[in-house]
Chain A
Amino acid sequence: MSSNAITLPGVQMEEKPWVGVLHDWVATVDHKRLGILYIVYALLFLVIGGVEALIIRIQLMYPHNNFVSPQVFNRMFTMHGTTMIFFVAMPILFGFANYLVPLMIGARDMAFPRLNAFSFWLSALGGLLLYFSLVGANGLYGAGNAPDVGWWAYAPLTARAFSPGHSSDYWTLSLLVSGFGSIGTAINIIATILCMRCPGMKLSRMPLLAWLNLVMSGMVLITITPLSAAQIMLLIDRYLGGHFFDAQAGGSAVLWMHFFWIFGHPEVYVLIIPCFAFMSEIIPVFSRKPIFGYPVMVAATVCIGFVSMSVWAHHMFTVGMNSYANSFFTITTMAVGVPTGIKIFNWLGTMWGGRIQFKTPMLFSIGFLFQFLVAGLTGIMLASAPLDWQLGSSYFVVAHFHYVIVGGILFALFAAFYYWYPKITGKLLSETLGKWHFWLFLVGFHLTFDLMHIPGLLGMPRRIYTYEPGRGWDTLNLFVSIGAFIQVIGILVFVANMVISYFKGDNAGNDPWDAWTLEWSTSSPPPAYNFASVPVVASRRPLWDLKHPEDPDSEYE
């Protein structure tokens, strides 16, 4: 990884004992190492969450299947959702932000390196706490079991009466702890971007990745905190006899829903905005043109940040709000599609008139564009409250959000992996294996999630451990499950690629993609101090200016 040693000619460097290496990693405050820790941590949980998904899909292959009991199934979908959102998506995006933001703004490290480390370890503890429930949470069903209340943990299912034992408490505490870690990282990112930019890098010259992580971090501060507040209230209900969500005392289950979704909806924008950032860095490089409409991209993102805070109750259309509330949330939800669509058009405009190179990062980016478009359109369908009264809480919704998360977020992450892996490790990932990964995963993804819309349209609700035959859902579920296995093969190819290329890949050099942002000006991997001399920039694409002194961006901005 990053070399902490300065090599002197003629001097033999001693091999560090493995204990020393381990200590360096555990005690590190270097943003690059913490970034890698976040990413590796997230990949481990991706495998665990994926196994949970496979268990779900195997159980649903046939009606009345007996692969797992209903109790185990209910824990599986709860853990799958909770793991994927909080211990895969959040850490991996914070990991990339941690690694890339200081490099891209020409800084030495994050604003608060020790807070950075503390936040990582808090988040890591959260994940371990959640899984400790498998052994630690005494329930009625025996020694220790995982939470089974769904990842939204709706009241009053989480009350002591309906969730005896401690499994719900592990859900609550693990997310409370990792939530504080997320807030710490978000504060760090904001302080870094606002206070540590290299000379000449006005906010209007920052890479879009920095802008979008700034918006995302600002959102995290007011998005995660409602969940933390609600979880504190839940703990008060469960342990201090509080009545926040206690229907018997006049409390309201709907209040939990409001608080949860005030977190839950902006949270998904928190997850997608860094992926927009990846796309905004990768698509220009592989189209050989600057991003189309930089100021509009920034404005659209800020707009999304604000509007997304006003749409939450579209998850509650069936709860019995009055028609004015339902209409309000319909229009805000449709409205948030406008700036989002504008971004898609701007990426299209970036590619238009370019010279597109179909390297693996670009393949995944193209997949993202198509899939995010479809996901956004099924989202518009769900935004209509009357349509949601039929489609909500069905497999149509499950298909929609997996289209965003897998077809959008995960594809963008794969693109980011292939693009920045050379910078992080100094080796290029294999293009051949990359293309195998892409096509296998694409086929599996579409088989699973295209088909999954149909059982939803035919009336299959979500979170059921089995279903009746003869509803028209049988064959569809079988093929959906088969697609899951194809995706697994794609992921295995990806893991193999990362491992093999680490040892045998071609050397990347500083700038394998002929890109334009500051991270490509330093070595691969970068030295511990990032830049030998403090960068100074005069435009949005400092390396373009250096490579094309006759036609620098600084003349056009």
Chain B
Amino acid sequence: MFVLAITGLIFVVVFSLLVYALIKFRGRAVDAGQEPAQVYGSTQIELAWTIIPILIVVVLYLATAQVIHAVQDAPHPSSALEVTAIGHQYWWEFRYPKLGIVTANELHIPVSDPTHPTPTFLQLLSADTDHSFWIPELAGKTDLIPNHPNRMWMDPHRTGVFLGQCAQYCGTQHAKMLLRVSVDSPEDFAAWVRGQQQSAIEDNRVAVGRRIFESTACINCHTVNGTPGNGRFGPDLTHLMSRATIASGAADNTPQNLRLWIQDPNAIKPGSLMPAMKLTDADLDAVVSYMETLR
């Protein structure tokens, strides 16, 4: 706000001077043929309008440098939650190393009480190209660059769902690499963690679908805890139904969308790296039913 105030003030001053000059010194018909006084410059004025901007820059810089250090060199309390975010084309992998959780695209973090802060510290990595993690209402953006781990922190003081998306062009579906962050109360967060830590629910009613999942190429890319599936190219699906959206926010998490996504990802997210699985309708229905049990 300070920067905005200073730049706004500069704008108002210079703008007014410009407008004044245009009006006061406009050429009138009566002046035709006469040249005004030919002034070549003035050392004093030049000094004035050099020194004042330099002072403004110094002031702005000092204020800014203070914020830079406060953000980048912030202390790392032991109560902080550690999350590792790994950027992929075109989805987000989130790991909570100390909690043993792996999920995708939707992040849950606890709200932080200013008197006893519990910020979230993220380590940012990339599996392929450059990405950028940006939730405007929670923090500035930081890039995810392969072979160049980055760190950032968020310290939210109110609960809610906050939206964001990838902010560094990463390929065809950069636009739909969306983010959802749920800032939970401590109780809600603990409940979420417990749910995520469990293995996949085994429901015999969907055994057919599970068998198809385990025997086709699905498990090459996806992980479901408790099954042979431990692929890491695509999102972890163990608790797929705990997420509000699929395809990294490209569609709401409904059975119809899920069916369409598995059948033809390009219908929802053209250019996504998930291939169309070419299942028969019966197999497709079975797999979707199975997915629907992964809460």
Tell me whether A25 is interfacial, beta carbon within 8 Å. no
- Asked if residues A323 and B68 are in contact (CB atoms below 8 Å), the reply is yes
Residues of chain B within 8 A (CB-CB) of A331 are 57, 61, 65
Q: 8 Å CB contacts to A: which residues of B1-45?
A: 3-4, 7-8, 10-11, 14-15, 17-18, 21-22, 25-28, 31, 34-42, 45
CA distance A467 to B172 in the complex (A): 14
Say whether B293 faces chain A, with CB atoms less than 8 Å apart. no
Q: Report A319-338 CB contacts with B as 1/0, cut-off 8 Å.
A: 11011001100110011011
Instruction: Indicate with 1 or 0, residue by residue over B57-90, a CB within 8 angstroms of chain A CB atoms.
Output: 1001100110111011100000000000000010
Contacts A338-B53, A351-B21; is A461 near B134 (CB within 8 Å)?
yes
The answer, yes or no, to whether B182 is at the interface (CB within 8 Å) is no
Q: Please name all residues of chain A whose beta carbon is closer than 8 Å to the beta carbon of B256 when the two chains form the complex.
A: none
Minimum CB–CB distance for B287 against chain A, Å: 27
Which of B89, B149, B172 has the most A CB atoms < 10 Å from its CB?
B172
Are A342 and B132 touching (Cβ within 8 A)? no
A341 interface hit (Cβ, 8 Å): yes
Complex alpha-carbon distance, A354 and B40, angstroms: 12
Counting CB contacts under 8 A, is A425 at the interface? Answer: no
Chain A residues near B149: list those with CB within 8 A.
320
How many chain A residues touch B (Cβ–Cβ < 8 Å)?
89
Would A71 and B172 be within 8 Å (CB), given that A292-B41, A356-B27 are in contact? yes
Q: Which residue of chain A has its CB nearest to the CB of B151?
A: A320
A354 and B25 in contact (CB under 8 A), knowing A71-B172, A252-B148? yes
Stretch of B91-99, B173-181, B233-241 with 4 or more beta carbons under 8 angstroms from chain A: B173-181
Contact A369 B18 (CB under 8 A): yes
Interface size counted on chain B using CB atoms at 8 A: 82
Contact with B along A461-479 (1 / 0, CB 8 A): 1111111100100000000
- Asked whether A377 lies within 8 Å of B147 as measured between CB atoms, the reply is no
Q: In the assembled complex, how far is the CB of residue B151 from the closest CB belonging to chain A, in whole angstroms? A: 8
B49 nearest CB neighbor, chain A only: A345
Shortest beta-carbon distance from B132 to chain A in Å: 6
A352 within 8 A of partner (CB)? yes
For residue B86, give the distance in angstroms from its CB to the closest CB of chain A: 13
A471→B180 CA distance, assembly (Å)? 13
Q: Does the CB pair B136–A366 fall under 8 Å?
A: no
Q: Report yes or no: A389 in contact with B140, Cβ–Cβ below 8 A.
A: yes
Which residues of the partner chain A approach B37 to less than 8 Å between Cβ atoms? 289, 353
Contacts of A356 in B (CB 8 A): 21-22, 25-27
| A173 interface contact, C-beta 8 A | no
* Chain A residues in 8 Å Cβ range of B25: 287, 351-356
Contact B146 A253 (CB under 8 A): yes
Taking CB atoms, residues of chain A closer than 8 Å to B39 are 289-290, 292, 349, 353
Residue of A nearest to B148 (CB): A254
Interface of chain B residues 235 through 278 with chain A (CB within 8 A) = 249, 270-271
User: Nearest A residue to B137 by beta-carbon distance?
Assistant: A459
Q: Which of A107-158 contact B (CB under 8 A)?
A: 148, 150, 154, 156-157
Query: When the two chains form their complex, are residues B53 and A352 in contact, meaning their CB atoms are under 8 A apart?
Result: no
Give the residues in chain B near A250, CB-CB below 8 Å.
Answer: 147
Nearest B residue to A296, CB-CB: B46
A102 CA to B59 CA, complexed, in Å = 44
On whether the beta carbons of A370 and B18 are closer than 8 Å, the reply is yes
User: Digit string of A362-394 for contact with B (CB within 8 Å is 1, else 0)?
Assistant: 000010011001100110110011111110111
User: What's the minimum C-beta distance from A395 to chain B, rounded to whole angstroms?
Assistant: 11
Are B145 and A320 in contact (CB-based, < 8 A)? yes
In the complex the two chains form, what is the Cα distance from A6 to B206 in whole Å? Answer: 94
In the bound complex, do residue A386 and residue B68 qualify as a contact, i.e. CB atoms below 8 Å apart? yes
Residues in A whose Cβ lies below 8 Å from that of B192 = none
**Candidates A289, A292, A381; contact of B36 at CB < 8 Å:** A289
User: B36 → chain A, closest Cβ, in Å?
Assistant: 5
| A503 at interface by CB-CB < 8 Å | no
* Residue contact B22 to A351, C-beta cutoff 8 Å: yes
Asked if B169 contacts A150 (CB within 8 A), the reply is yes
Task: Confirm or deny: A293 has a beta carbon within 8 angstroms of a beta carbon on chain B.
Answer: yes
Known contacts being A70-B173, A288-B36, is A253 close to B27, with CB within 8 Å?
no
Query: Bound complex: CA of A228 vs CA of B4, how far in Å?
Result: 38
Question: For residue A370, which residues in chain B have a CB less than 8 angstroms away from its CB?
Answer: 15, 18
Contacts A71-B271, A349-B45, A459-B136 given; does A389 touch B142 at CB 8 Å? yes
- Contacting B271 at CB < 8 Å: which of A70, A320, A351, A390? A70
A371 vs chain B, min Cβ distance (A): 11
Contact B145 A381 (CB under 8 A): no
Interface of chain B residues 133 through 176 with chain A (CB within 8 A): 134, 136-137, 139-143, 145-151, 163-176
Task: Please tell me if B130 contacts chain A, counting CB pairs below 8 Å.
Answer: yes
Output the least CB separation between A527 and chain B (Å): 30
Q: Is the CB of A156 within 8 A of B141?
A: no
Q: Does A358 contact B (CB under 8 A)?
A: yes
**Other CB < 8 Å A-B pairs besides A342-B46, A468-B178, 18 of them?**
A71-B271, A247-B147, A320-B150, A326-B72, A331-B61, A335-B57, A349-B42, A354-B36, A355-B25, A377-B11, A386-B140, A392-B167, A393-B168, A459-B136, A459-B164, A463-B175, A553-B38, A556-B38
Binding site for B on A (CB under 8 A): 69-71, 74, 148, 150, 154, 156-157, 162, 247-248, 250-254, 287-290, 292-296, 318-320, 322-323, 326-327, 330-331, 334-335, 337-338, 341-342, 344-346, 348-349, 351-358, 366, 369-370, 373-374, 377-378, 380-381, 384-390, 392-394, 458-459, 461-468, 471, 548, 551, 553, 556-557
6 A-B residue pairs with Cβ-Cβ distance under 8 Å, sorted by A, are A157-B129, A323-B68, A342-B50, A345-B14, A348-B17, A356-B21
Q: Which 7 A-B residue pairs are closest in the complex by CB-CB distance?
A: A389-B140, A464-B175, A459-B136, A320-B150, A247-B146, A247-B147, A355-B27
